[in-house]
Amino acid sequence: MIRIFTVAGKELLLLRRDYGGVLVLFFMPAVLVLIITLVQENVMELTGEQLTTLVFIDEDQGGMAKDFLDAIADDGSVEVVSWPPDRRKEALSAVNNGDYTACLILPAGTGKELEKSLTLTSQDLADQSQADSLSQPIVHFDPAILPAFRAGLLGKLQMAFAQVEMAEKIRFLGKHLTSKLMGLGIPAQYLSEEELGLSSLNRQLMLVTDQGAEISEVQPGVVQQNVPAWALFGIFFTVLPLGGALLRERQSGVWTRFMSMPISTFSLLAGKVLAYLLVCLLQFFVIYLIGSQFFPVLGLPAFSISAAPVEVLFIVCGASLAACGYGLLLGVLCNSYEQVSMFGSISIVIAAAIGGIMVPVYAMPETLQRLSVFSPLNWGLTAFHDVLIRDESLWAMQGGVLRLLLFFCCCIVLAWRMSRPKL
């Protein structure tokens, strides 16, 4: 055991002199988790998940504008800024320059045309074209807005006007029924909208409830996705300095001299694993501090593992051992430092891409979703999600950790067999 700790101390001393390696291990994942999280949080605005600013110009000057504002306020994700009709050109210019997301114009006479259309429709005209020829609300979008967001905001506006139209139809129906029933001699006090049961027709009875919000206190978002994801990415990049250090020892003859000493190959490899396991734990701690302490300063949600610290420690240790085993295997298989750096970095980036680090797995094509199960980074990220988002127990997330440990065992056994002295 003393020999293992001695080898681990030697590795840490060598790593301390490798400024480039330390920069890769600590600075790169810290910068990535900051930049990617901030970028994705900002992109959420373009996908309608954050508050959208809408300029509203009421040229109709009737009651429809108030009904629309009440309907769109129920959505909660659209902030409406009302401008007077004489600033129409200015509003369109502001939207075109990107100062506002969109501009909605309610043309003059829209309310009266709707009332006229309802009247014509109630008369059961043979030619319904007159009833259908309404002035339609017009929306102008910022040209840089993504098509998906345009469609989402357009759907919200359409739903708001559908509520306005339904309310107007109910009012018209009340007047129409009142007129007809009064002609039959029914007293007016019995013909109000409340008495006729029309006042509740505009109330939505069937609502879809998000049951997932009651399952876990931690809701999925860019922070819960990116902090564990890029922490795993940084952990697996330890293969570069670890594999490179082992390769240099083999090329310089140091490894051969170690083999001539009374120390086993297992002790040498175990010492390297122990050293870089500590490095990986320190890596995750740095990323955790950024997510929990620095993110709130930037206006982002804080990352927390308080609900499952033991489970998170198991996952980090499993991922760290998998990364160390892969690094040792590369150090044995490769014949030059260029091979270690190129093959190691490319393989990690590919594993991260298909493993859900850069893009969530559910957003990938079906083929890549099937390939993601072969990525060790996906095993670790899935285990993080099971614990932190799905609120699973240690037993439920053990599948991902066991895969990581099995991957480590396979790599370390191969590295041990290939690095033993030839007899």
pLDDT in tens, 191-216: 555 555 555 555 654 545 445 544 44
**How many domains does the chain fold into?**
2
Strand order in the sheet with 78-83: 78-83, 52-58, 102-106, 138-141
Amino acid 391 reads: D
Q: What is the pLDDT of residue 281?
A: 92
Q: Are residues 153 and 243 in the same domain?
A: no
Q: Are residues 21 and 85 in the same domain?
A: no
Q: Are residues 241 and 375 in the same domain?
A: yes
Q: Are residues 251 and 393 in the same domain?
A: yes
Q: Are residues 83 and 27 in the same domain?
A: no
Is residue 254 one of the residues assigned to a domain? yes
Q: Are residues 252 and 379 in the same domain?
A: yes
Is residue 199 one of the residues assigned to a domain? no
- Statement: residue 407 has pLDDT above 90: yes
Burial of 304 (0-12, 13-18, 19+ CB in 10 A): middle
The domain that holds 92 is classified in CATH as 3.40.1710.10
Give CA–CA dist 52/181, Å, rounded: 46
Is residue 174 one of the residues assigned to a domain? no
pLDDT tens-digit series, residues 6-32:
777 777 777 777 666 677 677 777 887
Mean pLDDT along residues 240-263 = 79
- Of residues 265 and 95, the one with the higher pLDDT is 95
Is residue 202 one of the residues assigned to a domain? no
Mean pLDDT along residues 89-97 = 88
Q: Are residues 33 and 73 in the same domain?
A: no
**Cα three-residue angle 23-24-27, rounded to 5 degrees:** 60
Give CA–CA dist 327/314, Å, rounded: 20
Q: Are residues 374 and 228 in the same domain?
A: yes
Mean pLDDT along residues 153-172 = 80
Is residue 104 one of the residues assigned to a domain? yes
Q: Are residues 277 and 375 in the same domain?
A: yes
Q: Are residues 356 and 238 in the same domain?
A: yes
Domain that holds residue 304: 2-44+217-419
Is residue 360 one of the residues assigned to a domain? yes
Is residue 85 one of the residues assigned to a domain? yes
Q: Are residues 359 and 393 in the same domain?
A: yes
**Under 8 Å between Cβ of 316 and 401:** no
User: pLDDT-derived band of residue 124, with 50, 70 and 90 as boundaries?
Assistant: low
Give CA–CA dist 64/55, Å, rounded: 16
Is residue 184 one of the residues assigned to a domain? no
- Statement: residue 316 has pLDDT above 80: yes
